[in-house]
């Protein structure tokens, strides 16, 4: 049936507009002039030359700042041989770097003359664009160095040199160290001010953040005082002054001086979150509190937005490094919540549990690490937090094991193996191998947790299996409250603990291979294989197709099934039954557990359920965090599930990594994103677009989806990478085209896989 010409014209016009929109989206990361390298990093830091004063970025060059008597802050590189990285740029598809030249100079004059008096690598034949280790003259402590790089590629293109970057070495240099940024400050002005009376104003900054408040006020008498109320929650157009839990509210009395003056509220320390185990704020920042709202009481003068600012603190964060939007408005709001949560909760420069304790925990750090990778090209905070916890572990058994998982994530996303090598002995201890019985299953309750074991993992205390948190009868939950463990029955041999143990041993085998520890690799590989066999023999109910909570109970919880599914323990013929059981339990886990539930759902190729969980508006959903009034992810789904919860927990922000990693399907297939898997699982989602940062540059993807009818995807992957692209497989009669040309693919389950796609921009289309 032919369409009327008017309809065809409209359709063609809409297609043109759509094409132009997608083109503009994919062009937002413009190729630098003459294809010069960009995104230069030293020890992962792309802002190593940035100077701050009391947390605020200043325009003073680093090489000048080091000699001035001001309260400047800047990163310090403490390694004797730092490693360099850059983004390869090209205006051609299928680009691979073939060579590079790095110049490192001791002065601005030398680098401007392209004189590498410290190191001139010369033209070095290599495709390595990340983790290039310094190989020049010995670097001196407390010194500023300048560097730049140029590249050659397989098209015969020689780039221009990049703009020069700077870095300063630390007072003491060592063979191994993890570099970090200073903390940064930013001023945020009110979204609106609502006068409650002539002398009382309610101020909303739009989002909660950690920091303090700065006010410029007029005092007419020496006795003038005002009350400054700060809080995270509001009720009836006022700050909720009894919010409960660890939701923050505070009031501060401020005596005004005569005339116009600017005041900063000095936040008093909280006894609990400044205790011996807590991470403390640096002196140049001062104490902070989380708040979104302010009430200024007893101030009788007019008040404008430019008189009051929220002075917020965070680890340097570039909001433009990631982007996501889709045809689902709830999903978009969930993304915005979770992305912002990663910035807001970075206020200490190390991943902490939130404001209540300000203590790093492995479970928080594991989720935070993945989320940070999903929203920023930033790897130093994740590495530092992981390494911090190696020597300061916490009490849950599974969280000790998570140190191995974090170490592997660090390597997979960066391609840098130096942390693995430095902490290899510790990582082997963190797998808790001595707790195993003759079958290979581990337990903390059979007398095997010896002082020697505890010493090897740097822990003083008692290990305890956790499964999920909180558990029944604690933290204000009555004995009849279910907690967040889905009725898990704790036994000596715990299914969740052993699923973690299997994952840790499996990843230790991979780590040993990377480090050329051949004997260890063979041992861990064999141990993992045996453990998988025993796990399924003793813990899988083959009649029901579900896993028991442990040996000695027939109870099957969500947790006992989602963790084996997440960690690849489920035999192929039982995946369907286990997946169905997982779906039947709903969101019967905490916000911590949801990370692993979402991994299990998407890895089990159940994207319809995954999308249903991501855009849910039920009480146990990410949207509920928005609905209750928070702008940072919560510690629990709602106050009633954890009465002492806080409103600033990054472990509640799992969609910040699930959306890029699983829904949009962007994950490293080879360490450091040398090869990328692009495996979108859109389910019924009609449209989406993402900008996903990687260590090698941005992945840009947008798709249009009509399930079982048509699917089109614009994809841009960085130069010096390749990708395996997964598209929906509906039937053998479907046609897959790339840039209008029919291409071959292989079928893998419900996917049509196009292997070895080169860098650059391509349009994939699928029709029946």
Q: What is d(CA 250, CA 622) in angstroms, rounded to the nearest whole number?
A: 27
Tell me, yes or no, whether 113 and 204 share the same domain.
Answer: no
Q: Residue 209 — φ and ψ, nearest 5°?
A: -155, 160
CATH of residue 681:
2.60.420.10
Q: What is d(CA 347, CA 315) in angstroms, rounded to the nearest whole number?
A: 6
Does residue 15 fall inside a structural domain?
no
Neighbours of 15 (CB within 10 A): 10
Tell me, yes or no, whether 264 and 329 share the same domain.
Answer: no
Q: What is d(CA 715, CA 700) in angstroms, rounded to the nearest whole number?
A: 6
Tell me, yes or no, whether 300 and 324 share the same domain.
Answer: no
Does residue 26 fall inside a structural domain?
no
Tell me the pLDDT tens digit for each residue of 165-219: 999 999 999 999 999 999 999 999 999 999 999 999 999 999 999 999 999 999 9
Q: What pLDDT was estimated at residue 7?
A: 46
Total structural domains within the chain: 4
Does residue 412 fall inside a structural domain?
yes
CATH of residue 237:
2.60.120.260
Does residue 659 fall inside a structural domain?
yes
Does residue 6 fall inside a structural domain?
no
Residue with the two structure tokens 């400044």: 274
Tell me, yes or no, whether 54 and 93 share the same domain.
Answer: yes
Please tell me what DSSP assigns to residue 586. -
CATH of residue 68:
2.60.40.10
Q: What is d(CA 738, CA 756) in angstroms, rounded to the nearest whole number?
A: 13
End residue of a domain, out of 663, 697, 730: 663
Could you tell me what percent of the chain has a pLDDT over 70?
95
- Whether 392 contacts 350, CB under 8 Å: no
Tell me, yes or no, whether 471 and 543 share the same domain.
Answer: yes
Q: What pLDDT was estimated at residue 475?
A: 56
Q: What is d(CA 551, CA 306) in angstroms, rounded to the nearest whole number?
A: 64
pLDDT band, very low/low/confident/very high, at 27 (cuts 50, 70, 90): very low
Tell me, yes or no, whether 519 and 440 share the same domain.
Answer: yes
Tell me, yes or no, whether 693 and 753 share the same domain.
Answer: yes
Does residue 10 fall inside a structural domain?
no
Please tell me what DSSP assigns to residue 663. I
For residue 483, give its domain range.
319-663
Neighbours of 242 (CB within 10 A): 8
Is the C-alpha dihedral spanning 524, 530, 534, 536 positive or negative? positive
Q: What pLDDT was estimated at residue 29?
A: 46
End residue of a domain, out of 663, 696, 731: 663
Tell me, yes or no, whether 571 and 656 share the same domain.
Answer: yes
Does residue 124 fall inside a structural domain?
yes
Tell me, yes or no, whether 307 and 324 share the same domain.
Answer: no
Q: What is d(CA 596, CA 559) in angstroms, rounded to the nearest whole number?
A: 9
Residue with the two structure tokens 């082997």: 428
Tell me, yes or no, whether 256 and 153 share the same domain.
Answer: no
Q: Tokens for 139, please give them.
A: 């670097």
Q: Is the pLDDT of residue 480 over 90?
A: no
| Full DSSP string of 304-322 | -GGGEEEEEEES---GGG-
Could you tell me what percent of the chain has a pLDDT over 90?
92
Tell me the pLDDT tens digit for each residue of 594-619: 999 999 999 999 999 999 999 999 99
Tell me the pLDDT tens digit for each residue of 663-719: 999 999 999 999 999 999 999 999 999 999 999 999 999 999 999 899 999 999 999
Tell me, yes or no, whether 529 and 633 share the same domain.
Answer: yes
End residue of a domain, out of 314, 342, 360: 314
Tell me, yes or no, whether 107 and 209 share the same domain.
Answer: no
Does residue 21 fall inside a structural domain?
no
């Amino acid at each position: 049936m032919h369409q009327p010409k008017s309809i065809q014209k409209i359709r063609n016009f809409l297609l043109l507009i759509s094409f132009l929109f997608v083109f503009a989206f994919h062009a937002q990361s413009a190729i630098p002039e003459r294809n010069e390298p960009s995104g230069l990093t030293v020890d992962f830091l792309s802002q190593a030359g940035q100077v701050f004063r009391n947390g605020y970025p200043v325009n003073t060059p680093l090489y000048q700042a080091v000699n001035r008597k001001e309260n400047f802050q800047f990163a310090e590189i403490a390694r004797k041989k730092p490693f360099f990285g850059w983004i390869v740029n090209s205006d051609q598809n299928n680009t691979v770097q073939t060579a590079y030249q790095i110049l490192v100079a001791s002065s601005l004059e030398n680098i401007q003359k392209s004189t590498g008096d410290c190191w001139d690598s010369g033209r070095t034949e290599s495709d390595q664009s990340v983790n290039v280790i310094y190989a020049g003259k010995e670097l001196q402590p407390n010194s500023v160095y300048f560097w730049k790089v140029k590249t050659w590629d397989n098209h015969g293109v020689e780039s221009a040199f990049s703009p020069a970057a700077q870095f300063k070495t630390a007072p003491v240099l060592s063979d191994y160290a993890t570099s970090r940024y200073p903390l940064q400050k930013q001023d945020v002005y009110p979204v609106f001010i609502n006068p409650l009376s002539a002398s009382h104003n309610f101020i909303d900054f739009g989002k909660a953040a950690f920091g303090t408040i700065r006010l410029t006020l007029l005092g007419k008498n020496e006795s003038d005082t005002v009350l400054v109320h700060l809080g995270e929650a509001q009720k009836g157009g006022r700050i909720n002054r009894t919010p409960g839990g660890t939701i923050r509210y505070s009031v501060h009395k401020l005596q005004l001086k005569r005339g116009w003056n600017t005041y900063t509220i000095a936040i008093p320390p909280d006894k609990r979150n400044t205790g011996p185990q807590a991470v403390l704020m640096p002196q140049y920042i001062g104490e902070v509190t989380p708040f979104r709202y302010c009430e200024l009481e007893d101030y009788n003068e007019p008040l404008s937005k430019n008189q009051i600012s929220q002075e917020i603190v965070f680890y340097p964060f570039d909001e433009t490094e990631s982007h996501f939007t889709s045809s689902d408005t709830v999903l978009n709001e969930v993304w915005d919540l979770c992305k912002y949560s990663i910035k807001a909760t970075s206020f200490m420069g190390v991943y902490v549990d939130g404001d209540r304790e300000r203590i790093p925990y492995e479970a928080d750090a594991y989720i935070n690490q993945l989320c940070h990778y999903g929203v920023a090209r930033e790897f130093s905070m994740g590495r530092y937090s992981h390494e911090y916890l190696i020597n300061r572990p916490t009490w849950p058994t599974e969280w000790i094991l998570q140190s191995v998982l974090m170490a592997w994530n660090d390597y997979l996303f960066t391609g840098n193996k130096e942390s693995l090598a430095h902490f290899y002995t510790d990582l082997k201890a963190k797998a808790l191998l001595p707790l195993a019985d003759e079958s290979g299953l581990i337990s903390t309750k059979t007398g095997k947790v010896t002082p020697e074991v505890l010493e090897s993992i740097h822990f003083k205390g008692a290990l305890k299996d956790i499964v999920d948190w909180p558990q029944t009868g604690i933290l204000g939950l009555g004995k009849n409250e279910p907690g967040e463990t889905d009725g898990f029955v704790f036994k000596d041999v715990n299914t969740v603990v052993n699923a973690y143990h299997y994952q840790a041993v499996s990843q230790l085998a991979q780590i040993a291979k990377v480090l050329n520890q051949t004997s260890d690799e063979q041992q861990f590989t064999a141990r993992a294989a045996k453990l998988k066999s025993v796990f399924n023999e003793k813990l899988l109910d083959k009649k029901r197709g579900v896993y028991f909570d442990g040996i000695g109970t027939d109870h099957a919880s969500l947790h006992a099934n989602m963790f084996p599914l997440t960690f690849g323990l489920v035999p192929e013929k039982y995946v369907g039954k286990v997946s169905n059981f997982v779906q039947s339990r709903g969101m019967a886990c905490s916000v911590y557990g949801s990370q692993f539930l979402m991994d299990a759902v998407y890895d089990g190729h159940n994207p319809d359920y995954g999308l249903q969980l991501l855009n849910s508006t039920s009480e146990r959903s990410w949207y509920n965090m928005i609905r209750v009034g928070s702008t940072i992810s919560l510690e629990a789904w709602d106050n009633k599930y954890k009465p002492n919860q806080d409103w600033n927990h990054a472990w509640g922000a799992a969609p910040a990594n699930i959306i890029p990693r699983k829904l949009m399907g962007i994950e490293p297939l080879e360490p450091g994103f040398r090869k990328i898997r692009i495996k979108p699982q859109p389910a019924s989602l009609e449209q989406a677009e993402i900008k996903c940062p990687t260590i090698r540059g941005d992945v840009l993807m947008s798709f249009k989806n009509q399930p079982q009818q048509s699917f089109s995807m614009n994809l841009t992957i960085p130069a010096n990478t390749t990708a395996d692209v997964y598209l929906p497989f509906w039937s053998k009669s479907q046609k897959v085209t790339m840039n209008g040309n029919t291409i071959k693919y292989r079928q893998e389950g419900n996917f049509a896989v196009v292997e070895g796609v080169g860098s650059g921009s391509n349009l994939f289309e699928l029709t029946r």
